[in-house]
Amino acid sequence: MSIAAVERSVDRSVVKPLIAPKIGLEQTSVITTKDLSVYYRELEAIRSVSMTITSKAITALIGPSGCGKSTFLRTLNRMNDTVLGFSINGEVVVDGERIYSSNVDTIALRKKIGMVFQRPNPFPMSIIDNITWALTFHGIRRRDEREAIGVESLKRAGLWDEVCGRLKDPVFALSGGQQQRLCIARAIALQPTILLMDEPTSALDPIATRVVEDLMISLKEDYTVVLVSHNMEQAARVSDQTAFFLMGELVEYSATESMFSNPKNKTTEDYITGRFG
């Protein structure tokens, strides 16, 4: 079915892609770090962090600016590789594979681990092309197949009803919140098993934030979600596990409810209650 046909479709809910893509996999990923230290030249940005991120859950990383939480997140899909002076000690294991091994295909790795950034960063092209464009480079040559995946991804990101009549419109016609959900749809289209989200709502208004938070909660049914958030209320609202970082170290890592009602560590308590940070 062509995009034009999709747009003409009267009953939008019954649109069926020609090839039903598999959005989300039955088996979701588990990430483990072992004594992970990250350096930018001499600066030790992460110090000996060992943690396991569970599947089908949202894990929030919190901590004051400069604590290393974003560095940690970007280390999970080798986004820091091109940063000058970057190096690591220790291991990052995703689904049993050491991702910093020399034989790892980083393109395949990043296909498996999608990323959503602070500000929506759509490509300057149409709404649907934003999603289908990258699929070409991942071997999906048939346009109708790419478009079918695009439609499914938009539906999964909760954006379909808002854009189905204007898929060829420029992406900048969308609001900030819609653009961010489009970026999530774009990440989903590559059928990752892990989604890394670096403060995905920091540029959004409260209503768009709630919509994206609802989306995150629904996504955890299929994906392992790792969320960096400066907004502790958001971490408390959406995440299942929370990790508190301070000066590159993992101070406390526990169930979110426990962390925010009865933290075990005094430093954690002082941070989340606003006594420093």
Partner 1 sequence: MRHHFDSLLDQLNDAMIVMGSLIESAISSATKALVEQDKQQALKAIAFDQEIDQKEKDIEALCLKLLLQQQPVARDLRQISAALKMITDMERIGDQATDISEITILLADTSYIKKLEHISLMAIETGKMVTDAVDAFVQNDLVKAHGVIDADDIVDNLFVTVKNDLIVLINEDVANGSQAMDLLMVAKYYERIGDHAVNIAEWVEFSITGTHRNSLK
Name the residues that contact partner 1, by CB under 8 A: 232-233, 236, 260-263, 268-269, 272-276
Position of tokens 């499914």? Answer: 152
Instruction: Give the shortest CB-275-to-partner 1 separation in angstroms.
Output: 7
Helix extents (H) in the chain: 3-8, 69-75, 106-112, 127-137, 143-156, 160-163, 176-189, 206-219, 232-238, 256-261, 266-272
> Do 34 and 93 meet the contact criterion of CB atoms below 8 Å apart?
yes
- If the CB atoms of residues 89 and 265 are measured against partner 1, the closer one turns out to be 265
> Do 195 and 219 meet the contact criterion of CB atoms below 8 Å apart?
yes
Position of tokens 């961010």? Answer: 180
Cα distances from 173 to residues 86, 122, 188, in angstroms, run 38, 11, 21
Strands 241-246, 194-198: pairing kind: unpaired
- If the CB atoms of residues 129 and 252 are measured against partner 1, the closer one turns out to be 252
Instruction: Give the shortest CB-257-to-partner 1 separation in angstroms.
Output: 10
- If the CB atoms of residues 116 and 235 are measured against partner 1, the closer one turns out to be 235
DSSP tag of 142: -
Instruction: Give the shortest CB-229-to-partner 1 separation in angstroms.
Output: 14
Instruction: Give the shortest CB-263-to-partner 1 separation in angstroms.
Output: 5
- If the CB atoms of residues 172 and 276 are measured against partner 1, the closer one turns out to be 276
- If the CB atoms of residues 66 and 165 are measured against partner 1, the closer one turns out to be 66
- If the CB atoms of residues 118 and 267 are measured against partner 1, the closer one turns out to be 267
Instruction: Give the shortest CB-243-to-partner 1 separation in angstroms.
Output: 16
Instruction: Give the shortest CB-54-to-partner 1 separation in angstroms.
Output: 20
For 161, other C-beta atoms within 10 Å of its C-beta total: 11
